[in-house]
Amino acid sequence: MRVLIFAPHWGSNHLAPQAFIDKAAAAGFDGVELSLPLNAAERDDWTRRVAGAGLGLIAQQWETVFHPGFDAHKAALAELLNNACAARPLLVNSHTGKDFYSPRQNLELIALADAIAREHGVPIVHEIHRSRFSGHPMLLLPYLARLPDLALTADLSHWCCACESLLEDQPETLAATLPRVRHLHARVGHAQGPQVADFRAPEAAGALAAHLAWWDRVVELRRAAGAATLTMTPEFGPAPYTQTLPYTGQPVTDAWEQNVAMAALLRERYNR
């Protein structure tokens, strides 16, 4: 099985499309992960440019965060997922539902995503993320029990923050969750936040080791399942995810440089 490593558009949104694509290709990424414009001409321009650079595409939808009301959220989810699938990406990573919606409402949104995935023949996976239906282990586990085909993007840095731990006291949670993972966001969180200042720093060693153990297990499970590929996106983000100095607001590290360094670690660890 080959691990494919994608560059996040988040943090590079200020760049013109070709500049970002060229930057990702020059850094050795296998593809890019981004939210595509709803304008069809702009969306298709992105897909042509990505394909022309020989890169893979993971589409992302996160904009439903702007629609807290259920009906508006559902309508936006349908529009955004159909638009993302129209680009024929490897998969769509979706920020689905809300932690304050009822189980019935979140199940309705997951069913909508499943129907759109079947219609287009494009996998849609749901990101573990604070404030979504998956924002805490005890929120997600009932959905895993009810939906045997529910596929996830694992960004476990969010659970570190939500649970104020490195999940060392929740082996059963991880055992239930990791087999459902089909895509990974390789960011290192800690017990008080979703992103360490620098994953290479000595003080981040424990958090890095915990995340690597989770990622190793996902790789092991996907290899055992006979998967040909597994996708990972290093996703260290800009401020406020990147910590800043008081008074000046200057970032203490460069998020893109962190992502390139994490890509090198993942490549060496999983594609030797």
The Cα–Cα gap between 268 and 244 comes to: 30
The Cα–Cα gap between 253 and 61 comes to: 27
Q: For 127-144, how does the pLDDT look when each residue is reduced to its tens digit (9 = 90+)?
A: 999 999 999 999 999 999
Going by C-beta distance under 8 Å and a sequence separation of 6 or more, which residues neighbour residue 84?
A: 35, 36, 59, 60, 61, 92, 122
Q: For 12-54, how does the pLDDT look when each residue is reduced to its tens digit (9 = 90+)?
A: 999 999 999 999 999 999 999 999 999 999 999 999 999 999 9
Going by C-beta distance under 8 Å and a sequence separation of 6 or more, which residues neighbour residue 195?
A: 157, 187, 188, 189, 236, 237, 241, 242, 243
The Cα–Cα gap between 19 and 151 comes to: 32
Query: Which pLDDT band, with edges at 50, 70 and 90, does 172 fall under?
Result: very high
Cα Rg, the chain, nearest whole Å: 18
The Cα–Cα gap between 117 and 146 comes to: 19
Going by C-beta distance under 8 Å and a sequence separation of 6 or more, which residues neighbour residue 77?
A: 61, 64, 94, 96, 109, 112, 113
- Residue 272's pLDDT is 83
The H or E element containing residue 28 is none
Q: For 192-247, how does the pLDDT look when each residue is reduced to its tens digit (9 = 90+)?
A: 999 999 999 999 999 999 999 999 999 999 999 999 999 999 999 999 999 999 99
Among residues 241, 219, 60, 239, the alpha carbon closest in space to that of 161 is found at 241
Q: What is the value of pTM for the model shown?
A: 0.97
Taking every pair of Cα atoms in the chain, the longest distance, rounded to a whole number of angstroms, is: 52
To the nearest whole percent, how much of the chain has pLDDT over 70?
Answer: 100
Going by C-beta distance under 8 Å and a sequence separation of 6 or more, which residues neighbour residue 22?
A: 53
* Domain 2-270 bears CATH identifier 3.20.20.150: yes
- Residue 158's pLDDT is 98
